[in-house]
Amino acid sequence: MRRLYSYRFKIEVSFKVLKHLIGVFFYRFWTSAWPR
């Protein structure tokens, strides 16, 4: 049971990191696509 919880925790953390990376990528893409 404890192993399952740690596995789920790892999935949530990696998902948050992935979401953050995608957010940074889109932010850079939009800022480069729309020059000031």
pLDDT for position 1: 74
pLDDT for position 33: 82
Residue in the structure block whose two tokens are 């995608």: 22
pLDDT for position 36: 65
1-36 pLDDT, tens digit each = 788 899 999 999 999 999 999 999 999 998 888 766
pLDDT for position 18: 98
Using alpha carbons, list the distances in angstroms from residue 11 to 1, 33, 35. 16, 32, 37
Measured CA to CA, the distance from residue 24 to residue 32 in angstroms comes to: 12
pLDDT for position 2: 85
pLDDT for position 25: 95
